[in-house]
Structure 1
């Protein structure tokens, strides 16, 4: 299952097989998100407005 940052399940996530997604809650409204595919890795800090 895949969830958005508000904890709601995403019905049809557009992720290819082999994709790893990790989201870490760093505090109120702040998340550190890492996405790893076969080709590359993305790390992004998201702050809710």
Structure 2
């Protein structure tokens, strides 16, 4: 695993852990935001316009 992959996994792990302590448990919104980040990155890499 490269350093960049370790950092990315750490950020995702921290983000997922904080969903457990957020007021109102906004877990769904956080998961959607993380999914959107990766989907957007992949779309950019593939040169496909995002919806």
- Report the TM-score when normalising by structure 2: 0.26
**Higher Cα Rg, which structure:** 2
The answer to which structure has the higher strand fraction is: 1
